[in-house]
Amino acid sequence: MSWNKEVDVVVVGSGAGGLLAALVAARNHAQVLVVEKDRQWGGTSATSGGGIWIPGSDQAKAAGFEDDLDDAFKYVRALSADNVPDDLIRAYVDNAAPMLRWVTANTEIVYTAQPYPDYHAENPGGSATGFRTHLPEMFDGTLLGADLKTQRFPSPAASLFGYLNWTFTETYQILYRGKGWLTGLARNLAKYWFDWPLRFTSRKDRRLTLGNALTGGLRVALNEAGVPVWLRTPMQELVSENGAVVGLVVLRDGKPYRIRARKGVVLATGGFDKNQQMRETHAPLYRNASLSGGVTSNTGDGIVTGQAVGAGTRNMHSAWAAPVFYLPGEDRGRLVTIERALPGCIMVNQKGRRYLNEAASYHIVGQQMAQQHRDHGDASPSWMVFDHRYRHSFPMGPLLPLVPDWMQSGAVKQVLKKGRTIEELAEAMGVDPATLALTVARFNQGAVKGEDPEFHRGEAAYDKMYGDYRHQPNPCLRPLSEGPFYAMPIYPGDIGTNGGLTTNARAQVVAEDGKPIKGLYAVGNTTASAMGESYPGAGVTIGPAMTFGYIAARELTGANT
């Protein structure tokens, strides 16, 4: 075969795992090319909170938290699926902190360890005090130059009005309307609107936060290393010779373009979030592609092309489950994280009954919702029910507080239900009024005392973290007592699939016969996650993607640094 281009390493996909793999390879003297099928770069990572779960980090030690990697391994091992090998989990736990140390030394990205408890902190090896989850500090988008305009926007659930970036600190300040919240909001809006001449050519916010900060920092480092990122360049197939992957075929300007990879190909194309057929075949519990929070370009390309050269797969039925709001006309579901834990709301099924702890981790809630709908057909959608006090105090996804109902967006008004009484609200929801009234009365009886005898909401460390700290004795519980009452539909969705190609502890793709496929590596949601079907803590999606990207790049370049 004749080649149009030859490089050492080709990385397919421009999320955090792919960008880091490319950067590490380049810093180890490899000639690297990144190809991205979409017109925007950054992948799902850019739309995310940018958090990474890193046990035993230097940042955690600096914050006074002494972690034990054996504890971290024990914690993940007990939660992960039985078919996930020990050495895959061990490779992640052992290499996560060195990966972050490398990122800190070789990029301008600054991560800080957060007092963010593990999602199952009460389990052996879990951390109730946190400091395994790390968040990126704000990054100056000016450093990206023209590449800022093609960076993927954050998720609507991780930005204000769909364009204004904000940090978690700013989120909490606005959420609780802490001192100076209005001034801070006005200042950031002014910075955005008076950022001329950018405002005339792009909606992008130059203040990069969360996932935009992470991917922006990696892209700046890649630019400094001279690594090109080709957009609108979808992969068509992998090329094998004698059982080894030696390159790939992409579409470049609409024509086949053959690229030889002398050292290897790294697949970092994401999951099959938006591939409806693959969902129906492999993940029927999470069947609806429109409810996924993944980006539209995640259609399983890496998995399909990997299988075509003999790669095995694992846990294709699994996803990063999550409750989501879905607004008509949007291309993805909106992750619901904080709202469910705040006092003054409950979730009910279509019969008007509670069936779970609303404040549990989004993965657990998403799984329970999907299972409830599979078994009983009454949870997609379910309903978030809340009273006037909640409506005035907190956002409910896209429904903004302090903004009158008539001023909300047309899409929000389409899905919002309202009633002067619980019974009237039930009528608007299509739920039996007597059943909903009984559910609310039963919940209120315990909530007055800060108790939830049915589902124990607000007892776990994770529940409390997102509750209203000003409300005691239980920051997650308050009776629904102040009309009018409201409801919004909430669905069992996900933030991406997490079953895929089988890989080993060296990030090599493994064939169906158990042997590594020479020259082929994969990271992130293209692979079967080391977490199995679990979600141990905030950042166990991007954390492993970056860690195995780091491992893959060092492996294929023979790096010792």
Q: What is the pLDDT of residues 61-104, one digit of tens each?
A: 999 999 999 999 999 999 999 999 999 999 999 999 999 999 99
pLDDT value of residue 156: 81
Task: Provide the edge-to-edge strand list for the sheet that holds 133-136.
Answer: 52-53, 133-136, 111-113
User: Based on the number of CB atoms within 10 Å of its own CB, is 374 exposed (0-12), middle (13-18) or buried (19 or more)?
Assistant: middle
Q: Nearest Cα to 79, choosing from 132, 130, 118?
A: 118
Q: Nearest Cα to 367, choosing from 379, 384, 354?
A: 379
pLDDT value of residue 434: 98
Beta-strand ranges (E) seen in 47-110 are 52-53
* Angle (CA) 319 325 327, round 5°: 120
DSSP 8-state symbol, 362: H
User: Please, are residues 165 and 212 in contact by the beta-carbon 8 Å criterion?
Assistant: yes
Give the residues of the chain that fall short of pLDDT 50: none
User: Please, are residues 23 and 218 in contact by the beta-carbon 8 Å criterion?
Assistant: yes
Rounded to a whole number of angstroms, the distance between the first and last alpha carbons of the chain is: 35
Domains located in the chain, CATH noted: 1-153+209-318+498-561 (3.50.50.60), 164-202 (no CATH), 339-494 (3.90.700.10)
Phi, psi angle pair for 382, to nearest 5° = -95, -175
SS (H, E, C) 268-322: CCCCCCCCHHHHHHHCHHHCCHHHECCCCCCCCHHHHHHHHCCECEECCCCEEEE
pLDDT value of residue 374: 97
Q: Nearest Cα to 16, choosing from 127, 139, 159?
A: 139
Q: How far is CA 283 from CA 366, 384, 434, 500, 515, in A?
A: 14, 25, 36, 11, 26
d(Cα 73, Cα 125) in Å, to the nearest integer?
A: 8
DSSP H helix total and E strand total for the chain: 17, 23
Coil, strand or helix at 248: strand
Q: Nearest Cα to 143, choosing from 218, 232, 196?
A: 218
